Amino acid sequence: MAMTSSSELESEVRQAMLSGIILAGGPNRRMGGSPKSLLRFGGESLVERQVREMRRLCDEMIVVTDDPLPYLRLLDRNVRIITDYYKAKGPLVGIHAGLMLATHPQAWIVGCDMPYVSADAAAVQRETLRSGAQAAVPHVNGGLYPLHGLYDRSCAQDAAKLIESGETSATALLKHVAWKEVRESAFVERGLSIRFVANVNTKEDYEAIRSELEPSMTIKECEVS
């Protein structure tokens, strides 16, 4: 892959026509029963933080959830709130719904528990998607991260077939579409941190990430309301 300068990357971020999709799961037992997307980081929720960053690259924002009301109250009217087509649970169900209703041919899809999503990293991934692949997925820290992936809308058809066969994992989709990995070096060479794949799974994760973002605040000050 040819190197892209920082100025070219910034131009890519400003000019891209792309749908942004956040998969907002339901209550999380390890986080006290509250949705991780509503965790507070300073003066905003995690989902608000994600929307703000993703809008640097996406001119359409979609939140997929089975509980729309909190997001309708929290987010501005330009964020589309949609629900799953299928009753099955799992990230692939949300991926399918988002791709089906996205207005652009391509979409950047993230999980709701990722506080460091990066428009700059997604712009690098989009270079790979333009080579003819149906999906561009980061391969960093020794693993694949289909959430923070870029997908062509054509992947929705394959997702539907998988869901109807009982498969709902995001990684399953990669076995059925033409995808390419975006290696860690592609991000590092552009001076980008690979922290964009980090997520919040436990209260300990939340406290650690919260202290990074707001070192002057304690965990008690940022409890979910």
Q: Are strands 19-23 and 40-41 parallel, antiparallel or unpaired?
A: unpaired
The reply to whether 178 sits in an annotated binding site is: no
Q: What backbone phi and psi angles, to 5 degrees, belong to 89?
A: -100, 150
The reply to whether 36 sits in an annotated binding site is: yes
Three-state DSSP class for 60? Answer: strand
**How many angstroms separate the CA atoms of 115 and 94, rounded?**
19
The reply to whether 156 sits in an annotated binding site is: no
Positive or negative CA dihedral for 20, 25, 26, 32?
A: negative
**How many angstroms separate the CA atoms of 120 and 137, rounded?**
14
| Torsion angle of C-alpha atoms 124, 126, 128, 134, degrees rounded to 10 | 150
The reply to whether 2 sits in an annotated binding site is: no
Whether the CB-CB separation of 127 and 4 falls below 8 Å is answered with yes
Strand pairing partners for 152?
106
Q: Which residues are annotated as a binding site for Mg(2+)?
A: 113
Bind-site residues for GTP: 23-25, 36, 84, 113
Q: Residues marked as binding? A: 23-25, 36, 84, 113
